Amino acid sequence: MRHFSWHILASQMALAGFITSMPIAAYALTFESAQNIALRDAPQLQVSQAQITVAQQSAIPAGELPDPKIKLGIDNLPLTGPDRFNPGPNGMAMQTFALMQEFPNSNKRNARVQAANARISVSEIERKIARQNVARETAQAWISQDSIERQLVLIDRLEAENTLFASVIKAQLASGKGSITDTILPKQELARLAEVRDELTARRLQASAQLKRWVGNVANEGVTGKPPVFLIDISMDPIALQDRFANRPELVAFYPKSDVLNAEIAEARAAKMPDWGVEVKYQRNPQDFDSVMVEFSFDLPIFAGKRQDPMIAAKLAERTALDAEREASTRERNAELINELADLQRVKQAHQRYQATLLPLAEEKITLSLTAWKSAKGALSDVIAARRERLETQLKAIAVSGELLQIQARLHFTYANWDTPTGAAQ
C-alpha cells in the first residue's frame, strides 16, 4: 500500500509539471468565435459605420446650388386716405411674385465636392482603424483570460496533489517515520494555494470584464480552445515590415485629412471671387399693365483683409499643424514598433528558457527531493520548497507564454494581413 501511494504521488507531481501544455476544460468562447462576435457586434464598429453614412450623405448636396427662394409681397399699399389698406382694383397696390436663385462661383462648389469626398475617405480609413483596434484588443483580452484559466487549472491539480501528499505523510507517520510537524506543511501549502487562487480569480474577473467590452455578455461563459498561432512572424522580414509600417491606417489617414484641408483652403480662396444671383419678379397692377423685372446681384469681396484672408490663413495653419501631427505620429509609432520588437525578442527568449531549462529543472528538483525524503536522506521541507519553486516557475511560464502571444497579436493585427485567419496551436 505504501509503495502504491508513492507511485501515485510521483505520477501526480510529474503530471503537474507538464500542465502548461494541456488544454483547458470546456469553456464557451474560442479565439475565432470571439473575433467573429467582436467584429460583428462591437459598438465601436457601429459608430464608425454610421460615420461613413454621415460622410456619404453629406457629400450628396456638397456641389449643389442653394435652394431657390420665392418672394410674395404687396407694393404701394395705401396707409391713409379712403383706400388705406385696400389692395383691391381701385387701389394703387401692386401684388408681386419673385423667384430668386443664388449661384456660388464654380471654384467654391468644386472645392466643397472635393472636401466632401475626402471626408468619406477619412471615415472609411477610420472604420478600418476601428476594426483593427477591435480585433487587436479582443485578441489580447481573450489571451489574457486564457492564460489565467490555465493557471487556475494548474492550481486545481496542485490542490489535488497536495491532498495526496498529505495522505502519504500520514502513511509515513503510521509506519514510524517522519515527524508530527510534517502534517502541518501540506496545510500551509494548501492555504498558500488558496491565496494564489484568490488572486487569479480576481484577475479572471478583470479579464472577463475586458473581454466583455468587445464581445458582450457571452464573455461570462469563459474561454475555450487552444491559443492562436499567428502565421506571420513580423520580425523576420524587415523590408515587408517597413512597407506595412508606411501603410498603417493611422498614418494613411493623414492623406485624406490633408485633402480635406486643401479643399477647404481652396474654398476659402474661392470666397475672394464674387458669387452672383438672379431674381425674376412679376408685378400685377390692378389699374395698369402687369410687368416683369429681372435683377442680378453680385457679392463684393472688397474687404478680404478682414474676411477672406484670415480664413485662408487659419486653414493654412491647420494644414501646418496636420503635417506636424503626422510627423509626430510617425515617430511615435516607429518608437512603439521598436519597443514591440525588442519585447518580442526578450519574451521569445524567456519562453524558450522556461520550456527548455527552467521547467525541466524544477521538475528534476522535485524528483530529487522526493527521492531523498523517501530514503530518509532529505527533509520534507525540501520537498515543499521544491514544490513551491515549481509552482512559481509554472505560473510564470504560463504568464510568459501569454505575454508572448499578446505581443504577437499586437504585431499581427497592426501590421499583418490580419483578415486571413490565424491557426490553432499545435
d(CA 93, CA 282): 14
Are residues 99 and 117 located together in one domain of the fold?
A: no
> C-alpha cell of 301?
469681396
Angle of helix 238-246 relative to helix 308-353, nearest 10 degrees, comes to 150
Are residues 331 and 348 located together in one domain of the fold?
A: yes
Task: Confirm if 135 and 35 have CB atoms less than 8 A apart.
Answer: yes
Helix (H) or strand (E) holding 419: none
The owner of cell 464674387 is: 274
Task: Confirm if 245 and 59 have CB atoms less than 8 A apart.
Answer: no
Number of domains in the chain: 2
Are residues 149 and 170 located together in one domain of the fold?
A: yes
Are residues 89 and 204 located together in one domain of the fold?
A: no
Are residues 281 and 386 located together in one domain of the fold?
A: no
Largest CA distance in the chain: 136
Please give the pLDDT value at position 3.
42
d(CA 424, CA 224): 12
Q: Point out which residues pair with 72 in neighbouring strands.
A: 97
Are residues 127 and 201 located together in one domain of the fold?
A: yes
Instruction: Give the closest residue to 282 by CA, choosing from 272, 295, 273, 270.
Output: 295
End-of-domain residue from the set 256, 283, 302:
302
Please give the pLDDT value at position 209.
94
Instruction: Give the closest residue to 388 by CA, choosing from 162, 164, 172, 147.
Output: 162
Task: Confirm if 404 and 410 have CB atoms less than 8 A apart.
Answer: no
Q: Point out which residues pair with 96 in neighbouring strands.
A: 73, 283
DSSP letter at 288 equals S
Task: Confirm if 326 and 261 have CB atoms less than 8 A apart.
Answer: no
Q: For position 228, which CATH number holds?
A: 1.20.1600.10
Q: Which residues contact 259 (CB under 8 A, 6 or more apart)?
A: 114, 115, 118, 121
DSSP letter for each residue of 135-150: HHHHHHHHHHHHHHHH
Task: Confirm if 156 and 12 have CB atoms less than 8 A apart.
Answer: no
Are residues 172 and 30 located together in one domain of the fold?
A: yes
Cα 198 to the center of its chain, rounded Å: 30
Instruction: Give the closest residue to 374 by CA, choosing from 163, 177, 164, 180.
Output: 177
d(CA 407, CA 340): 7
Q: State which residues form the domain around 77.
A: 68-103+275-302
Please give the pLDDT value at position 110.
96
Please give the pLDDT value at position 243.
76
Are residues 283 and 377 located together in one domain of the fold?
A: no
Are residues 99 and 122 located together in one domain of the fold?
A: no
What CA–CA distances, in Å, run from 185 to 336, 380, 385, 425?
Answer: 47, 8, 10, 38
d(CA 372, CA 80): 126
End-to-end CA, the chain: 40
The owner of cell 472609411 is: 124
d(CA 145, CA 135): 16
Burial of 402 (0-12, 13-18, 19+ CB in 10 A): buried
Instruction: Give the closest residue to 188 by CA, choosing from 395, 384, 393.
Output: 384
d(CA 385, CA 365): 10
Reading phi first (left if > 0) and then psi (alpha if -120 to 50, else beta), residue 376 is in: left
Are residues 77 and 50 located together in one domain of the fold?
A: no
End-of-domain residue from the set 285, 302, 319:
302
Other CB atoms within 10 Å distance of the CB of residue 265: 20
Are residues 91 and 46 located together in one domain of the fold?
A: no
Are residues 327 and 283 located together in one domain of the fold?
A: no
Please give the pLDDT value at position 82.
67
Q: What is the pLDDT along the chain (426 residues), one digit of tens a residue?
A: 334 344 444 455 544 444 444 444 444 799 999 999 999 999 999 999 999 999 999 999 999 999 999 999 888 777 776 667 666 655 667 889 999 999 999 999 999 999 999 999 999 999 999 999 999 999 999 999 999 999 999 998 888 877 777 776 666 666 666 666 667 777 887 888 899 999 999 999 999 999 999 999 999 989 999 888 886 555 556 677 777 888 899 999 999 999 999 999 999 999 999 999 999 999 887 666 788 999 999 998 888 888 899 999 999 999 999 999 999 999 999 999 889 888 988 999 999 999 999 999 999 998 898 888 778 787 777 887 888 888 899 999 999 999 999 999 998 898 876 554 454 443
